[in-house]
Amino acid sequence: MTHGGSQRRWTGLLVAVLLAGGCVTEQQEGVGGTAALPTLDAIRRPRSVEVIESGRRPALRAHVLRVELPLDAPVEAAWEDVDVDAIDPTIRDAWLRNGIHIGVLNADAIDAFIQHVPPALATRNSLVLTDRPDPIALYRSPPLEKRIWVDLTIPPLSPTRTVLRNGHAQLLGRIVREEPLATALEAEADDSSSADRANEEFDLELQLHHHLEKPTLQPRLPQEKLLDGRIFHELTINLRLRPDQRIVVGLHRVPAAEETPPEEAAEQQPDTDRITDADAVDKTPAAPAEEEAADAADDVDQSETDDSRETMPSKPRYEPLPSHFGRQLLTGRRLGRNVQVLLIITFDP
């Protein structure tokens, strides 16, 4: 299989999912490291519905496309096609400090975005449904195996970080509906209103959540249990969307710094008066030395793939990943390779 054929196959798959949505499939790694075509069994029926359905009109219906890319795959060109200015800049910067890139993909930018996304190792499309007004998990990380931190700094407030252990990192979503109950029931009973709802704007709320289930004897629904832990309300994103717009969530990588020539490095003097985030931010107890050493070792492992072990690059493309919330939520392993996760979310209001 040629590289061009692999690129065309991956591009065709992403186009079909972005334009159609709703089919839940998962492709294993194909020849040449690109996503294989879906199997007949995957096309026939969804493999997973993440939330219990009911007979009422869903309060939220979302198609979540998870695209797994090599950890060091360059995605900057794809993010040029995403409207990041649609997010409040203060909150957007806070998400970036936590390693998460987020923006809105407009309908007229889909073609360019698809062309700029690198070939995927695997994809999975999930359908998320709920008839409850509460936030629901759109995406959930594997269990935390070591401590991570979340930066809750919102200027002009004092810098603050919180260390998290155990549980899961989650991305929550909720469509905010403020219509009176009588109006909602009338619209639900009127089939002719469904076409109007498909074209109207809606208010969306996105939140980061540390899920840590608490033991209790009180009977609860599975969705209620998934909200145990702490929702970071300080980082809540509120925006208005059209049905033809999509939310894109990805890992934020910091490009590797340019090497300083020896003669310039000798002239530079350390700025001892400067207060860094590490000096003034963290209000949590310092981690033991062995944990910090383990984090540093993990950063080295995250910054390289199996391919890079065979041919070491002369210079890394990105800085090592810190142990932040985004690393836990949007990285993982597939077939022995470090991967980053790109989420493309479509909402049906």
Burial 314-338 (b: 16+ CB within 10 A, else e): eeeebebbbbbbbbbbbbeeeeebb
Amino acid symbol at 169: A
Mean of pLDDT over the chain: 75
Extract the residue ranges of the chain whose pLDDT is less than 50.
1, 21-55, 181-182, 265, 268-297, 299-313
Give residue 287's pLDDT: 45
Give residue 34's pLDDT: 41
Give residue 132's pLDDT: 86
Give the pTM: 0.71
Give residue 161's pLDDT: 94
Give residue 10's pLDDT: 61
Give the Cβ contact number of residue 152 at 10 Å.
20
The vertex-207 CA angle with 202 and 209, nearest 5°, equals 150
Give residue 194's pLDDT: 53
Give the pLDDT confidence of 14-40 residue by residue, as tens digits.
Answer: 655 565 543 333 444 333 344 444 444
Count Cα neighbours of 338 within 13 Å in the Cβ-side half-sphere.
21
Give residue 62's pLDDT: 94
